[in-house]
Structure 1
Amino acid sequence: MRKKTSEKLLKCVDDILSSLEMFRNFKGNSYISAKINNLCSDNMAALEKNSDSIKNKEYLELLDKFKESVSQISVGDASEISKRLKELISESVVYKVIFMPYKASMWDSLESIWMAADKAERCEALVVPITYYELDSNQNPVKKVNERDRFPEYVNTINDEEYDLENDLPDIIYIHNPYDNTNLVTRVDSRYYSWNLKKYCEKLVYVPYYKWVDGASSTSFKSAMYYADYTVQSSDDAVKRCVEASPEYAGVLGMENIVVRKAMEKKLINLGSPEVDKVLSLSKDNVPMPDDWKGKVIKSRVNVVYNTTLDEIFESRTFDKVKETLNFFKKNSEKAFVIWRPHPLMKQTLTSMLPNLTDEYDEIMNEFISGDYGVLDANPSMHYAMFWSDMYYGYKTSSMTELYKYTGKIVLEDAPKLTKFVSEQGAEDILSNLKENNVVSEPDCSLENIVDIIAGNDELKYGKHLELENSGSKINNYMLEKLCQEDET
């Protein structure tokens, strides 16, 4: 049963007990006694009517005993029986948990929580992909988008235009878009701004769609961090640095520092990363090789996923490093093959914020597609590239860089402004480092160094398996416990 129904039934039990007390005090008054009797009958009828929602045989047995003690006006017996009766009612609550992702490619930030909620007897979980708009350079909406049809087949989704949020009133809503009306490239429908969603649920939970990188990720303010009840972080560093950034958040909100800091201390909590759960679960069964990769991504070469991020283009303000990297693969196609994954919003972001680079990007893209030294990874999910590649090359601030580390395979962190350099370490030192730690950086190592070393050491292609606690289950259990604690107070 839903929480609101259980609250009504708990009130029925309390009202019956109160009625018995009143009956004892006014048993000489026939008018009041009749009123009390009717009230008891109505409340008892409600308890019987909802018995099917309480899947426990003990409930019906207790209810019969409760009725008997009430009919005998045995306040002590009724009070004692009511304690267990109320426990059974509370234990029968099923919480409505709604997931409201907006981009299918970011679903991994919520998926393991959804899986945990979907399996839990005390949850009814629904996935409602929400509508968003693509914006032009003046932040005007130019295209309405809903990616419901891009989610995995095993995820049963609901059309957001048909979902009656205002009347369903879920217990928990999970979101991964924190920007509300402030995003410059895409923007969710105003109905789904965090402060609007908060009106219709008990707990609004924001889970970032990127993996936090300790010491590197930005603490910049995102409105959902304040309006949500909780922001799930994946490290103590994330919690600490975001709390310390409270003065910046207070300035954006126009509020007192101390008020915002106290709110952040309560809302920010380290419960792990569902995205890591997803990486650890990857297999041939759930990420089969895309058809257009077959015969190209082969084990006789070193397959490198090259992730080009918005951050590195903003930092370098050129595509020089990108062109140099792709040229390496073009010249070394016998030993290396690139799975190139530019950020899915690269073209839109350039058009909006760096229009002088748009034509050059188009030229690079056209040349790459017409070549035969790599494949373009335009899949909504990054996991195909993560699973089928042998190593990773990308900027250290990217959440994909951080997530790839959990594959146990080699990560080379890119220095965007550094071109045509010579490695500062020799091959033997690099190999020794790789056997201890799967993460290396430029300029200590170059892409050519790492490719050569992996080509001569096949075991490095497979990585080291990691065993970690499932964050989705941890998050789901934590939020349910918070709801149960509030029900008891």
Structure 2
Amino acid sequence: MLSRKTRSQIIELIETVRGGLVCQNTKERAAMLDECIAALSVSEDVCGTELPAERFEQYKDTMDTVKTAMLQLKADPEAEEIVTLSLQLMGWLLEQLKNEPVKKEIVFLPYKASMWDSLESIWKAAYEDKEHCNTYVIPIPYAELVQDAQGQLALHSWHCDINEMPDYVPVIDNETVNLEEMHPDVIYIHNPYDNTNYVTSVDLRYYSSELKKYTDKLIYVPYFVVVGGQLDPDFATKPGVINADHVIVQDENIKEQYEKYYPGGNPPKGKFLALGSPKFDKVMTSKREDYTLPKEWQEIVKDKKIVLYNTSVGTALRHTEKICDKLRFVFDVFKGRNDAALWWRPHPLMESTLRSMRPEVLEEYEALKNQYIKEGWGIYDDTADLDRAIICSDAYYGDISSVVELYKKTKKPIMIQNMELVGIR
């Protein structure tokens, strides 16, 4: 199957050949015949590479006939009946090409590499269907935000996680792509916020309000799974939800809630699709042998049960005054144990969130984190690979978050921490 770009290039070549044939000056026409034959040969070679054999034969027969006719024109430039035949054949070629099915051009725009699992299974299916799809993974830049002295949002730093993406995912530098010119058939996003987030913001070129101009279909896939089957109504009103042509959600229950809380309560038919979450797909298809831990981590967990300790930004915002005391308590429980190892994985945006919304505890939090890392008795995981932590651990401890919903799929033990209990063992 031809790509859309290739089809356009072939059509342009054939239209150029046709333009050469309609020259009124027979000497000019004769001078162009070699170039016309070469252009048809290039078109034929491309079709032979990208089209199924039976489909290619239809084009090949016609192109070969046109090339033979042009060779006769070289011998007799005045033979207008040959010109007429050639123009008719090329008219047929152009009509066929304009109706020739093309590969879908599908773009994925992850921003945080740690959230790539919300798109991965969709990308993988399209990537492996090379007959029908061309896929492009373009990690996009995002800014961390802080509140200034007047309480206004200000830029703290810019990031792009292109180097944190999995090695098996081909990625493209966003600076080399013009989406407006490319105009892909489909764009997938997992950031719905545009300018409504207090912690991070993607570059405004990648706001959903802009992207919808550059594609036939904008699709939003939530970067999270809903906890406890209850959707926060606010999530149904985000710009990415409003601007997307489709929103893929984890199940029918969540679909009904998105429809209920959508502004006006009457979303376009087919906007919300209960197709499951790629985050569940990733967990359910991964195995422990798929992962190799760093040597220093292997030493930490050797002959021990591994407890994944997940701390969420939601809990940090609700219990700001207690988070540091709770961390000290948990570290004290696990430090020095011979039977259990702690695998601490804070939310990827934990420090960004504290810096923007709870700056009064940031210094103490960072000091605790740095001490934990320096002592080296437990794992500190700030990588993009959440699934490795879920698959390689033996039990979950920590906050209520979407990670719990993923962990349930493993059938391993789960314990939710109580922020009120500090110092009780």
Which amino acid in the other structure matches residue 119 of structure 2? L
8 Å contact from structure 1 (residues 315, 416) kept in 2: no
1:131 lines up with 2:122 in the alignment? no
Code of the residue aligned with 2:378 in structure 1: it is G
Identity of aligned residues (%): 36
Unaligned runs of 5+ in 1: 11-44, 72-81, 251-256, 422-447, 449-489
Query: Which ranges in structure 2 are unaligned for 5 or more consecutive residues?
Result: 12-39, 66-80, 82-91
Q: For residues 66 and 134 of structure 1, do their structure 2 counterparts lie closer, same or farther at Cα, with a shift above 3 Å needed?
A: closer
Q: Deviations over 1:30-72 (max 9, x none)?
A: xxxxxxxxxxxxxxx9xx868547613433555669999xx9x
Residue in structure 1 matched with residue 51 of structure 2 by the alignment: 55
Q: Please name the residue that 1:106 is paired with.
A: 115
Give me the whole-angstrom Cα distance separating, in 2, the residues matched to 1:7 and 1:229: 26
| 1:152 equivalenced with 2:166 (yes/no) | yes
Distance 1:126 1:66, change over 3 A: closer
> Is it true that 1:212 corresponds to 2:226 in the alignment?
yes
Partners in 2 of 1:136 and 1:239 — Cα distance? Answer: 33
1:215/1:67 CA distance change after superposition, 3 Å = same
**Whole-Å separation in 2 of the counterparts to 1:67 and 1:296:** 69
Indicate how the Cα distance of structure 1 residues 340 and 60 shifts in structure 2: closer, same or farther if over 3 A, else same.
closer
Distance 2:240 2:228 in 1: 21
The corresponding residue for 1:309 is 312
Specify the SS of the correspondent of 2:343: strand
The residue that corresponds to 2:126 in the other structure is 117
Q: Which amino acid aligns with 2:206?
A: Y
Q: How many positions carry a matched residue from both structures?
A: 365
Preserved contact between residue 2 and residue 95 of structure 1 (Cα < 8 Å): yes
C-alpha distance in structure 2 between counterparts of 1:335 and 1:409, whole Å? 17
Which residue of the partner structure matches residue 198 of structure 2?
A: 184
Structure-to-structure mapping, 1:469-488, within 5 angstroms: none
User: 1:403 maps to which residue?
Assistant: 406
Q: Give the 3 Å change call, closer, same or farther, for CA 119–337 of structure 1 in structure 2.
A: same
One-letter amino acid of the counterpart of residue 128, structure 1: I
CA distance, structure 2, for counterparts of residue 91 and residue 404 of structure 1: 46
Say if 1:217 and 1:377 are closer, same or farther in 2 by CA, change over 3 A. farther
2 CA distance for matches of 1:62 and 1:372?
68
User: Following TM superposition, by how much is the alpha carbon of 1:378 offset from its aligned partner in structure 2, in angstroms?
Assistant: 1.6
Report deviation, 1:284. Answer: 4.6
Partner residue in 2 for 1:262: 267
- Does 2:357 correspond to 1:353? yes
Cα distance in 1 between the residues matched to 2:282 and 2:177 = 27
Report the residue type matching 2:267 in the other structure.
Answer: K
TM-score relative to the length of structure 2: 0.76
What letter is aligned with 2:258? C
Deviation (angstroms), 1:316:
2.2
Matched residue of 2:409: which SS?
helix
Calculate the aligned-residue CA RMSD, in Å: 3.5
Mark the CA change 1:58 to 1:371 in structure 2 (over 3 Å): closer, same or farther: closer
Q: Could you tell me which residue of structure 1 aligns to residue 390 of structure 2?
A: 386
d(CA) in 2 for partners of 1:158, 1:177: 19
Shift in Å, 1:159:
0.7
Q: Cα deviations across residues 290-334 of structure 1 (Å, max 9, x unaligned)?
A: 2320211123x221010010111222232243333222213x612
Say whether the 8 Å CA contact 1:394–1:412 is kept in structure 2.
yes
CA contact (8 A) 2:48 2:56 kept: no
Query: Structure 1 residues 6, 314: CA separation in 2 closer, same or farther (over 3 Å shift)?
Result: same
Q: Which moved more, 1:223-232 or 1:399-408?
A: 399-408
Partner of 2:333: 328
Alpha-carbon shift at residue 134 of structure 1 (Å): 1.4
- TM-score, with length taken from structure 1: 0.66
**Within 1, Cα distance between the matches of 2:367 and 2:280?**
35
Q: Secondary structure at the match of 2:300?
A: coil
Classify the secondary structure of the residue corresponding to 1:266.
coil
Counterparts of 1:76-87 in structure 2 under 5 Å? none
TM-aligned CA distance change 1:180 to 1:89, over 3 Å: same
For 2:302, which of 276, 298, 301 is the aligned residue? 298
**SS of aligned partner of 1:102:** coil
The question of whether the paired residues in 2 share the 8 Å contact of 1:92 and 1:122 is answered with: no
Q: Secondary structure in 2 aligned to 1:416? A: coil
Distance 1:89 1:288, change over 3 A: farther
Distance, in Å, in 2 between the alignment partners of 1:298 and 1:92 is 55
TM-fit CA distance, 1:205: 0.8
C-alpha contact (below 8 Å) 2:3/2:134 kept by paired residues: no
- The answer on 1:201 being equivalent to 2:215 is yes
Secondary structure at the aligned position of 1:140 is classed as strand
Conserved 8 A contact 2:250-2:276: yes
